[in-house]
Structure 1
Amino acid sequence: MSTLNTQQFIAPIALEKAYRLLNHGPTTLISAQCGEDRDVMAAAWVSVLDFNPSKVTVVIDKISHTRTLIEKSGFFAVQIPTAALLKLTVNVGSVSMKDDPNKLTKLKVPLFYQNDFNIPLVQGCAGWMICKLIKEPHNQQTYDLFIGEVVAAWSDTRVFKDGHWHFENADNSLRTIHHVAGGHFYLIGEPADVDFDS
């Protein structure tokens, strides 16, 4: 279980605003569990599909153990890792549970559970969404594309509160990460606002 002390900052998000966790295109962590078998992987190809109800899409290769757990359980979590989790994100994306069944223990992935959901969540993220799989066998087999309806969501209130991101007031370690290529990432930048013409 987690040794990171961030539980005090976690608060639920209204489901109709959960899509905003992904609007800025962050790298994500995907987790799933079936019985006692659980896994966490990194994913860059995750997008918003709809907002009422909130739905997401994620591309997960057939070789992924996480995918197997999603297909068996019908649920998965999408998480928004922070700069403090950069190395962990790269590691869980580079090591397959199929190659190393002790992956989560060896990498010391700090997991916790929220409410009555039997889905592991990674401590230290900026946001978490639990999704119910909308089964689309053709899309899953042909395009490795999975659709999930968000059934619960939370954020770290130091960076996401009242339905909006607030990185400008947070420590850099809490900024979200954005994968470019190889081991190269960017952290979310400074805000820029514009007034709408009336």
Structure 2
Amino acid sequence: MTIRPVELSKAYRLLQLGATTMLSAKHQDDADVMAAAWVGLGGPNKVIAYLGTQSYTRKLVEKSGYFVVHIPTVQQMETVLYVGGHSKFTSPKKLENMPLFYQDGCDIPLVTGSAGYLLCKVVHNAQQEQQFDSFMGEIVSAWADSRIFDGRHWLFDEAPEELRTVHYVAGGQFYAMGRGTKFNHGPGQD
């Protein structure tokens, strides 16, 4: 094995193994969905999402104070690529043929077929939002597809390929979640 230096501009890719996500937001009657690669946990019941200033969805999040994180599956890859490649700024009818639904207690549209959904209320931090395009959200509701999440754990070992979550690793390369491995003890333990 050889340990080599990694160019700093590419170092983030060492950690960028998390699930590909989509974000949706709505303000009044205006809604949008976008693909988002840089979304992750920011502490207990907190999510951090990078929303660039070029994002139409960001404008809706800023106005409403809410967003939904979607955990897409393999069967949704065309949708992920579509919402990632089209801006509502230039494609105002972007959501016209999108398979959307509304969950009780959530007025933000959800994309049909995701493995899970996290409704987040923005925890405002003007400096982080303006300087780093980083938005923290407190998870206020969550829903998941019971075929692949039993309320406590992912069930990927039993999941059909099309229901596995998708992970973006850069350069147009995605991976579907694989099989699990369970360890009963660690180093120094019997």
- The higher radius of gyration belongs to 2
| 1:189 equivalent among 178, 182, 189 | 178
CA distance in 1, matches of 2:18, 2:158: 20
Over aligned residue pairs, what C-alpha RMSD do you find? 1.1
Matched, 1:32 2:25: yes
Q: TM-score, normalised by structure 2?
A: 0.87
- Aligned residue pairs total 171
Q: TM-score, normalised by structure 1?
A: 0.84
| Partner of residue 96, structure 1 | 87
Matched, 1:50 2:43: yes
Unmatched runs of 5 consecutive residues or more in structure 2? 1-16
Describe the superposition over 1:136-190 as per-residue Cα deviations: whole angstroms up to 9, x where unpaired: 1100010000000000001001101131001110110000001122432100011
The structure richer in helix per residue is 1
| 1:67 equivalent among 58, 64, 67 | 58
CA distance in 2, matches of 1:120, 1:50: 25
CA distance in 2, matches of 1:114, 1:88: 20
Map residues 141-156 of structure 1 onto 2, 5 A cutoff.
141-156=130-145
Question: Secondary structure at the residue paired with 1:189?
Answer: coil
Structure 1 runs of 4+ aligned residues shifted over 3 Å read none
Describe the superposition over 1:41-94 as per-residue Cα deviations: whole angstroms up to 9, x where unpaired: 00010111112xx00000010010100000000000001000000111011011
